[in-house]
Structure 1
Amino acid sequence: MGENEMIYAFSPITVISPGGFLAVSYLKSRETTEDIDIIIDPQWTGDKDIILALRELFSSVGKKLGLDRKWVNDDVSLFLTQKAREQIFDAAGNQNIVLYEGPNLRVLGAPLEWGLESKLRRINSKPDHPKNAITGH
């Protein structure tokens, strides 16, 4: 990340991971994940240059590692308002589950209560969703 001047200038950039990365690295509830879902710091949501630079960076790292172009993605953010994103970031900061910390990137675990609530909502609204097979719902 330090090679990208724009990202380096604002480093470290903090993201939150609500999905598989949290389950694998912190909860130890499974051994692998197919991708890493992230929520980018709300201070950058209006900055298309930073968002694009981050997406391109994650994609290029994935390409070097032989991974899918969206191995790290912020698709979950599509469903969050700015206010919700800020609340989630505040709660994640207070919770302080650090999944990764380097000179240019910091990854915090999403608030556990929010993650559970999101999962229960999905199970309730989409009982036949493939990701619900693990829970038996």
Structure 2
Amino acid sequence: MASTSQTEFSAKDFDQALRALDVEIGKSKNMSKIAPIQLLSAGGFVAVTLFHNRLSTQYIDYIMNPDTPNVNKIKEKLQIAIEAVTRQRSLSTDWINSQMEIFAIGPKKQRLFRDSVTQNVVLWRGANLVIYAAKWEWTLARKFKRIGSERRAIDISDAVEILSRMVQENGGPLALETVKSWDTIVYTPLDMAAIKSVADAYMGQWGVAGIKM
């Protein structure tokens, strides 16, 4: 009987897989000499490991620091390390993947990464690898866009958690005009129905406004 690969991961599952990846990175001369390798993540991994509004998710989305020395070579070496862990632990081939790189390119990727490091929300840290949460404004704007097209309850739940963190940091609800200005992040006007659905869900959960509508 063919073995099956793990496709759903809890916070503990991710921790174990990332510990193994940390070891593999340490075996690479190219990566170990510039370690820790810096990644940022958004989506399900943040929900599972930081907000705990999901018990599990299918993969870690990541963007590598574009200022990493010899970044393309390091991306290749990291993929080799990922594939080694995938084989060792019988994981799905995309348990950690860089597909979200398409949403931030060129100077915008550099700015996003620097802002995310400055935000300094560390999702996972080892000797050779550190993963930061992507900047909240960027993450929430992407959530609004997805909610506008898919209306998934789990995305609204994620958005409420992100908004809650931003309200705490802001010292109060966000101005609607501020939220709408994030259309520059997703290159299209944000869906007002999506914003309202998150604002309503936030009000329902916390009893106060998260966005001044």
Pairing 1:127–2:150 present: yes
TM, length-normalised to structure 2: 0.58
- Answer yes or no: is the 8 Å Cα contact 1:59–1:71 preserved in 2: no
Counterpart of 1:82?
106
Unaligned runs of 5+ in 2: 1-24, 157-193, 195-213
Q: Find the residue that maps to 1:2 and give its secondary structure.
A: helix
- Tell me by how many angstroms 1:87 deviates: 1.6
Counterpart of 2:32?
8
Structure 1 pair 65/26, CA: closer, same or farther in 2 (3 Å)?
same
Residues in 2 aligned to 1:116 and 1:13: alpha-carbon distance in whole angstroms = 25
Alignment of structure 1 residues 1-137 onto 2, 5 Å: 1-44=25-68, 47-124=71-148, 126-127=149-150, 132-135=152-155
Unaligned runs of 5+ in 1: none
Residues in 2 aligned to 1:135 and 1:91: alpha-carbon distance in whole angstroms = 23
> Which of the two has higher C-alpha Rg?
2
- Answer yes or no: is the 8 Å Cα contact 2:63–2:101 preserved in 1: yes
TM, length-normalised to structure 1: 0.87
Size of the alignment, in residue pairs? 133
CA displacement 1:48-102 (0-9 Å, x = unmatched): 2111111121122122111111210000102321212112112211211111111
Residues in 2 aligned to 1:127 and 1:45: alpha-carbon distance in whole angstroms = 38
Q: Find the residue that maps to 2:27 and give its secondary structure.
A: coil
Moved over 6 A (4+): none
Residues in 2 aligned to 1:30 and 1:119: alpha-carbon distance in whole angstroms = 15
Residues in 2 aligned to 1:90 and 1:52: alpha-carbon distance in whole angstroms = 22
- Over the aligned positions, Cα root-mean-square deviation in angstroms equals 2.0
Residues in 1 aligned to 2:31 and 2:39: alpha-carbon distance in whole angstroms = 13
- Tell me by how many angstroms 1:44 deviates: 3.6
